[in-house]
């Protein structure tokens, strides 16, 4: 199923966000603060992922999207990169069966061709195993970049048109959006970045067009269910207008309610 832009329909104020997207940042600083090697922060970070998946499932969130490795993270020291890859493999080995038992659907998006063959196979197997689960959809963004996503969408769309023998024509938003790597999900309602930085770092550029942003200084390994609730409360107090006036939004919401 392809979703139309989430900016067309206004969710009710106070609703639980349907889709939460998180930049899990601050693992390294969490460890350094404790005089531990950065890897210790990444290990703790994986535990925080487990907690977040559980918390989101419990709260009735439908989509949880986690930025695990950006297309720019290859620039890190080789040992850190290979450790992150190993952690990814171990996490898949340990968690997929549990996720499946909890009705969770797992997706991994990004340019996976740069990962070694074993990891790629594990990813495909995990996605296939959980494909029909109806509970929370967890998406891991790995070797992901927002610019890469838009470009790959454009390239695939053009290729399909060429194969279909279609004459050159302009591309609409809806047509392009259908080729984005997360076309199966609505756009994020709530975007969270932990670790104190206030930037997007090439995460979901297209899909965050109208998301609500929440930044916290808490390092990712410390971001627990209680911290999640605080971010959700912040979201619930906001009025999403998508270009309209506040009066229009109030009117629309009250007619929706009286229906
Ligand atoms: C986020 O934590 C995890 C990844 C990018 C893989 P960092 O490793 O960026 O932690 P800091 O920002 O150095 O503290
Ligand atoms: C962004 O974190 C990517 C992930 C969390 C995976 P970084 O810590 O790499 O971001 P920048 O480069 O400092 O902006
Ligand atoms: Mg960082």
pLDDT band at 254 (very low <50, low <70, confident <90, very high): confident
Say what the pLDDT of residue 251 is: 87
Q: Which of 189-193, 199-203, 253-257 has the lowest mean pLDDT?
A: 253-257
pLDDT band at 2 (very low <50, low <70, confident <90, very high): low
Q: Whose CA is nearest to atom 12 of ligand 1?
A: 26
- Ligand 1 atom nearest the C-alpha of 32 is 14
Length of the chain: 259
Which residue ranges make up the annotated binding site for Mg(2+)?
A: 25, 212
What is the domain partition of the chain in residue ranges?
19-258
pLDDT one-digit tens code per residue, 103-146 = 999 999 999 999 999 999 999 999 999 999 999 999 999 999 99
Which of the listed residues 25, 32, 201 should we mutate to test ligand 1's pocket, taking the one with most ligand atoms within 8 A of CB?
A: 25
pLDDT one-digit tens code per residue, 29-66 = 999 999 999 999 999 999 999 999 999 999 999 999 99
CATH superfamily of 19-258: Decaprenyl diphosphate synthase-like (3.40.1180.10)
pLDDT one-digit tens code per residue, 194-240 = 999 999 999 999 999 999 999 999 999 999 999 999 999 999 999 99
Please check whether residue 53 is in contact with residue 64, taking contact to mean a CB–CB distance below 8 angstroms: yes
Which of the listed residues 24, 25, 199, 219 should we mutate to test ligand 2's pocket, taking the one with most ligand atoms within 8 A of CB?
A: 25
Say what the pLDDT of residue 3 is: 65
Long-range contacts of 208-215, Cβ-Cβ distance < 8 Å, separation of 24 or more = 208/21, 209/7, 210/6, 210/7, 210/240, 210/242, 211/21, 211/187, 212/17, 212/238, 212/240, 214/190
Q: Say how many CA atoms lie within 13 Å of 195 toward its Cβ.
A: 19
- Ligand 2 atom nearest the C-alpha of 73 is 9
What is the CB < 6 Å shell around ligand 1? Answer: 24-29, 69, 73, 84, 195
CA of 23 to the centre of ligand 2 (A): 7
The backbone torsions φ and ψ at residue 89, rounded to the nearest 5 degrees and listed phi first, read -60, -50
Q: Whose CA is nearest to atom 14 of ligand 2?
A: 201
pLDDT one-digit tens code per residue, 168-184 = 889 999 999 999 999 99
Q: Please state, in angstroms and rounded to a whole number, the distance separating the CA atoms of residues 132 and 213.
A: 31
Q: Taking Cα atoms as reference points, which of 206, 204, 236 lies closest to residue 139?
A: 204
CA of 6 to the centre of ligand 2 (A): 26
pTM of the model: 0.95
- Please list, in sequence order, all residues whose beta carbon lies within 8 angstroms of the beta carbon of residue 177, skipping any fewer than 6 positions away: 2, 5, 153, 183, 206
pLDDT band at 258 (very low <50, low <70, confident <90, very high): low
Q: Say how many CA atoms lie within 13 Å of 232 toward its Cβ.
A: 20
Which residue ranges make up the annotated binding site?
A: 25-30, 38, 42, 70-72, 74, 76, 193, 199-201, 212
Q: Whose CA is nearest to atom 11 of ligand 2?
A: 201
Q: Who has greater pLDDT, 259 or 113?
A: 113
């Amino acid at each position: 199923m392809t979703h139309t832009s989430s900016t067309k329909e206004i969710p009710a104020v106070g609703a639980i966000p349907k889709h939460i997207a998180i930049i899990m940042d601050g693992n390294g600083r969490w460890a350094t603060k404790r005089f531990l090697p950065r890897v210790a922060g990444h290990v703790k970070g994986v535990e925080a992922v487990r907690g977040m998946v559980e918390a989101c499932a419990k709260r009735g969130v439908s989509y949880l999207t986690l930025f695990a490795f950006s297309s720019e993270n290859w620039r890190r020291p080789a040992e850190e990169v290979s450790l992150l890859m190993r952690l990814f493999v171990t996490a898949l080995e340990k968690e997929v069966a549990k996720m499946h038992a909890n009705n969770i659907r797992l997706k991994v998006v990004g340019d996976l061709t740069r990962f070694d063959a074993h990891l790629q196979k594990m990813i495909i197997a995990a996605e296939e195993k959980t494909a029909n689960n109806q509970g929370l959809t967890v998406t891991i963004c790995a070797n992901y970049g927002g610019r890469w996503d838009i470009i790959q969408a454009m390239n695939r769309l053009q290729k399909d048109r060429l194969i279909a023998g279609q004459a050159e024509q302009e591309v609409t938003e809806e047509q392009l959006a259908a080729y984005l790597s997360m076309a199966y999900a609505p756009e994020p309602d709530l975007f969270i970045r932990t670790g104190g930085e206030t930037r997007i770092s090439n995460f979901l550029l297209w899909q965050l067009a109208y998301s609500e942003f929440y930044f916290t200084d808490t390092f990712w390994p410390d971001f627990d269910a209680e911290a999640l609730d605080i971010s959700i409360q912040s979201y619930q107090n906001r009025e999403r207008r998508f270009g309209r006036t506040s009066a229009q939004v109030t009117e629309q919401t009250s007619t929706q309610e009286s229906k």
